[in-house]
Amino acid sequence: MTRISLGKQNPSNVYIDSIYNEYPLIRMVRTRVPSSHQDSGGFMDEGAVVLFSFHGKTINAECVSSRALARNRPDRYGSVADNEGQNIHSLQPNKNHKDEVNQLSSSKGSKSAEKKQPRQVGDIKQGTIAKFMRKRTQLVGFETGLNKHTQYAIEFLDNAIDALESWWWRKKRKPRIGDQLDPEIVKQIRDKLEGKTIDSIARSKKLEKDAKAGRELNIPPRQKETLEDRVKRFRKFLVPFRPLIRKNEPFAVMKLTEVHMPDLVAVDDEEGFKVYEFTCFDNGIGMVPQDLEKFGIYLASSKSEKLRQTRGSQGFGAPSAFSDAQNTTGKPIFTVSKRMGSKQATVADFYTTTENTKDYVGGPERMKLPFKHGTYVRLNYLNIQYRRGYADIYAEMASLLNSHVTIIFIDPYGEVHIYPRRVKKFPEEPKYAQPHPASIRIGEFQDLLRETKERTVRSFLTKAFTRLSSNKAKDIVKAANAELGKRHLDKIKLSSAPRSLSKVQVELLYRAFSSEDYYSPPTDTVVPVGEEVFQQTIKMAYHPDFVTSVTRKPTSGKGLSFAVEVCIAYGGEIEPATSAPMVLWRFVNRVPKLRDNSDCATWKACTMVNWKNYKLKTFDNGIPRGPVMVFIHVCGAYVHVM
């Protein structure tokens, strides 16, 4: 085997494995380069080709990497010298070397001719995630139907509660609030929203009955609004909630109103459909102007980059809601937001585009508005007639495990649902968790290697993962090197740069990494509701004769920590349910889950309990029946992917 050094431009050693063509002037060889000798760019890789031409005692080398071959662009490394003193000219040339040289020159001519030909254009086009999702909002729950009303409530109420918690955690001087919301304030708000002279419940039931009978509701007249008009409506919207704003009470409001069908929507094509105006406001932490610019952009999220117990993480909810609203009504989105500590709010009227950007039709403008901090969103969407038992149930269930905030929902028939704050204490802020080795797959491992800023393999392993010590990193590298030695490949050093590892080295390193045993992940990243708060909330909401709860100690599965807690209430004001979903209520990270019951592990676990031992009858699917309610909460980072 001949060893040739590539001189000053690349001091790496190229080992010639085999000579494919022998010419007296030109030789082509296939190379194998040890990973320890690769340059930082990884140019000299396995499978590269080197073209050598000999001129006396000087050898000119043209090195073409496998990647360069793929793009038809050789990279030159300059001249090199024979460092082993071998007489290259003594190699026997092919007998037909002249013909081969002629063929080579003719091939060069054909290549130059190919270069003159026009560049071909491929058929594959690259789109954007926004363009893909614009026509597929049903993938994230915005399909036409009663659940669509619920999906709007889910996306924006979750964001509102997240903002309220962020405000509380970041505020150094906590506001003084009572053990629960003052009932007098609740009465004031209800009077302003419903009016004192009309029985609001009777009125709302009559409106619902009229709507089912096909009679038109008393809808406000259609008006063209400027940005100033929208701001005036926002000021008017805040009036009933001033007692909450003045006292720094954490609250979120959702309002659903039926409005006139826009001119852009063909009435004949959408017979039986209605247009609804959805409004959501919270007095949470608010957004700075830079964050408000990203609000509604796909994959833009404050929670998607880190492993933490959150209500959502993908950055798909609000953008998909905006897409559905624009698809069905053609109306822009109106937002107002003021960051905690800021003197002015940012107001904007915009459309989101298929390029995943925003097209502003009003603003963004900075102005003073009568609230301290928070976010307001207003949009319009098309759907079938609203019916109780969906969005209102979601608001009710969300209030149970988020009893540290007040939730208000106003339905299209004017009925006001107020779920006041029932506890004083906010939950602890969840800690960020590092990935546990047991939860990492080969693709994620490769991505982490590419993206890491660590300079050595040892620091990468110990800092990128939890429960992985320096000694454990040493054992992993040792096990990987044992396999590399069997294949006569270069070994990995603990001081090697992570990006310098070859494909085979990465694969064997991951094999050793995933074969080790590790301690369970830390459980301080899990924040459950707690037995005391759980029981107190259910007692105040349903006044049962009997209630009990249990919170299990956090455990782990697939490298992810999680906790399970259950509360059961019986008797009192609880009425016997007519269906199983009205008995068992499931929650993930304090978020109610109202769909896909049969596929849920907690649902299956509940059906496996022998409820007859407790003198309870069951439905056909095994869920208990009678004046009983069961609440199951699973919490932890990324529990939705387990």
User: In the chain, what is the greatest distance between 2 CA atoms, to the nearest angstrom?
Assistant: 112
- Identify the pLDDT of residue 638: 79
Whether residue 294 contacts residue 300, with contact meaning beta carbons closer than 8 Å, is answered with yes
pLDDT in tens, 253-269: 999 999 988 776 665 55
pLDDT in tens, 2-25: 444 444 444 333 433 333 333 344
pLDDT in tens, 352-399: 999 999 999 988 999 999 999 999 999 999 999 999 999 999 999 999
pLDDT class for 559, splitting at 50, 70, 90?
A: confident
pLDDT in tens, 194-211: 864 445 555 556 666 665
pLDDT in tens, 162-173: 999 999 999 878
Instruction: Give alpha helix (H) positions in 376-500.
Output: 391-401, 442-451, 457-464, 470-486
- Identify the pLDDT of residue 256: 95
**Would you state the structure tokens that stand for residue 503, as one six-digit string?**
């494909």
Name the DSSP letter for residue 634: E
- For strands 273-282 and 251-259, give the pairing: antiparallel
Work out the average pLDDT over 268-278. 79
Closest CA to 404 of 179, 166, 187, 163: 179
pLDDT in tens, 205-261: 666 666 555 555 566 666 778 899 999 999 999 999 999 999 999 999 999 999 988
Q: Average pLDDT over the chain, rounded to whole?
A: 81
**Domains delineated in the chain:** 3-104 (no CATH), 132-419 (3.30.565.10), 437-515 (1.10.8.50), 531-641 (3.30.230.10)
- Identify the pLDDT of residue 19: 38
Work out the average pLDDT over 167-193. 88
Q: For 42-45, which contacts have Cβ atoms below 8 Å and span 24 or more sequence positions?
A: 42/499, 42/500, 43/10, 43/75, 44/10, 44/12, 44/14, 45/502
Count how many residues are written for the chain: 642
